[in-house]
Structure 1
Amino acid sequence: MASSMKKNRNKHHEQSPPAEEQLPMVDELRAAIGPLFGALQTYCSDACLSRYLRARNWCVKKSEKMLRESIKWRASYKPEAISWEEVAMESETGKVYRANFLDKFGRTVLIMRPSKQNTNCMDGQIKQLVFSMENAILNLPPNQEQMVWLIDFDGWTLSNSVPVKTARETATILQNHYPERLSLAILYNPPRIFEAFWLIVKPVLDPKTYQKVKFVYSKDAESLKLMDQLFDMDKLDFAFGGRHYEDFDFLEYQKRMLEDEIKREGYWNLGSKKSKS
């Protein structure tokens, strides 16, 4: 009987199971992965395990496989230990940065400007994006787990886009190791030529991630309604149809990131890290 109940519970769920069934599944997943230490123990909170379960439709076995892969990646890549100093140069042009405002639902906003790419180093580009994800998560308000991506295509062409290999690697990391962190990805005014690039990247995305991608056009009335529903237009950058006209200020952003270094080291219990002279 117990075995039958477990099998039924691990089947694909069209909807989340009742709240009283979720905690036992979190406990089951925690027991399956065994003891963890240091940053990995901090990472694998009950909320984190719930996100992996949601990402795999509350199938414990599939969630365990996904989580084990993330644990292996985090143990090797150590995303929580990436410092601002390591990604400052990649961040100079504002190609990826955390906005200094939240959306109307209290979600962190990551702004991406692909045309502002300033290096040819795939490893550096990915590291800067991972740093930005970690920073965005660190700055999520209480009781909020997800963020919004705003992607500005002004000036984007196939010649200045990131290589397909980088795009695929990025998509793999974000959807496999940051499950249920993305609420919406808004592609703002993508040019027609982007369709060719999108057709190459799209197969890498799982259905859940793909459904969160929204194409928004400034000349489309429905698109404008969506932006107004999501954002305070006085705070939203003019590049996205908002009324905020100040350009990205690297020095101001660097000041924010350096302040967050203390928060990051404290959260992960990393201790003080100072640059070697």
Structure 2
Amino acid sequence: MAQCLRLRPPLVHHFETVAVQSKKPTKIFKLSVRSCSLAPENAHKLVAEVKEKLEKEYNSLPVGKYGRDDEEMILWFLKDRKFSIEDTVSKLTKAIRWRREFGVSELSEESVKSAAATGKAYVHNYLDVYGRPVLIVEAAKHFPEKQEPHEDEKLCVFMIEKALSKLPAGKQEILGIIDLRGFQTQNADLKFLIFVFDAFYYYYPRRLGQVLFVDAPFIFKPVWQLVKPLLKSYASLVKFCSAKTVKEEYFTADTLPHVFRN
């Protein structure tokens, strides 16, 4: 907690002042923790408790990286579940099972080759100005009638994994850019869009920092109206913007994605 105070002194000072006035320091403490990416001082103990519970109650789950004894993964889910042991175990076990059933560890460039060949989704070679890996989707190249849904899902997960592998030290989130220029009704895929956001919510919590919907045409609005209520809190991560905004606010001249250089 001391580290958190050093990182955000003005914010925490304000909360401490309110705490004195309201005599409710517990609520203020929670706000302070949520405003900081660091774990509480007893994080190690909480991780150990989750590991012990998983070993006792879910010992059939795999171990190793992304397994039930992966302390980094456990800590990340603890943060997402506000350090609740029960909530963390519940969400984490589902995520570990999903990774095994989906075959995440078996995904490779070769296994997603056919879907990737469309050029509709890829990880940018450079970080954005905030130091985040960038996952780009060119919606006009997505034709759900021509591709098996599971192939698109595999490509999605592979790209998420690839983007996360590029996270610099100290960074925790990626940027998603959905280029909607040229989007037509035949590109609409409500089910897949929900799959993408569900993947982040259930299996990669708090890894998605922001999603840019670039130059959305009028025909995209009905799609958004349908999907927005289903995204719940994740809808707040979406920002509608222009290609000009992407150029000027998220990249330098040297790091700007090729698709936005026209």
Q: TM-score range by the shorter chain?
A: 0.7 to 0.9
Instruction: Letter of the 1:29 partner, please give it.
Output: V
List alignment gaps of at least 5 residues for structure 2. 1-25
> Percent same amino acid among aligned pairs?
26
TM-score (norm: length of structure 2): 0.76
In the TM superposition, 1:57-68 aligns within 5 A as 57-68=82-93
Q: Which has the higher contact order (CA 8 A, sep 6+)?
A: 1
Confirm whether residue 82 of structure 1 aligns to residue 107 of structure 2: yes
State the secondary structure of the residue aligned to 1:185. strand
Instruction: Letter of the 1:202 partner, please give it.
Output: K
Confirm whether residue 217 of structure 1 aligns to residue 217 of structure 2: no
Counterpart for residue 177 of structure 1: 203
Is the alpha carbon distance of 1:166 and 1:191 closer, same or farther for their aligned partners in structure 2, counting shifts above 3 Å? same
- Asked if the contact 1:26–1:46 (Cα under 8 Å) also holds between the matched residues in 2, the reply is yes
In the TM superposition, 1:49-128 aligns within 5 A as 49-118=74-143, 119-128=146-155
- Asked if the contact 1:172–1:204 (Cα under 8 Å) also holds between the matched residues in 2, the reply is no
State the secondary structure of the residue aligned to 2:65. helix
Deviation for aligned residue 1:99? 0.5
Match of 1:197 among 223, 233, 241: 223
- Asked if the contact 1:14–1:57 (Cα under 8 Å) also holds between the matched residues in 2, the reply is no
Deviation for aligned residue 1:19? 2.9
Confirm whether residue 28 of structure 1 aligns to residue 49 of structure 2: yes
Counterpart for residue 14 of structure 2: none
Is the alpha carbon distance of 1:203 and 1:54 closer, same or farther for their aligned partners in structure 2, counting shifts above 3 Å? farther
In the TM superposition, 1:131-210 aligns within 5 A as 131-162=158-189, 164-207=190-233, 209-210=234-235
Instruction: Letter of the 2:158 partner, please give it.
Output: F
Deviation for aligned residue 1:13? 4.2
Counterpart for residue 65 of structure 2: 42
- Asked if the contact 1:187–1:214 (Cα under 8 Å) also holds between the matched residues in 2, the reply is yes
Deviation for aligned residue 1:37? 8.8
- Asked if the contact 1:52–1:180 (Cα under 8 Å) also holds between the matched residues in 2, the reply is no
Deviation for aligned residue 1:173? 1.9
Is the alpha carbon distance of 1:146 and 1:191 closer, same or farther for their aligned partners in structure 2, counting shifts above 3 Å? same
Instruction: Letter of the 1:232 partner, please give it.
Output: T
Counterpart for residue 257 of structure 1: none
Instruction: Letter of the 2:49 partner, please give it.
Output: E
List alignment gaps of at least 5 residues for structure 1. 1-8, 246-277
Deviation for aligned residue 1:218? 4.4
TM-score (norm: length of structure 1): 0.72
Deviation for aligned residue 1:185? 1.0
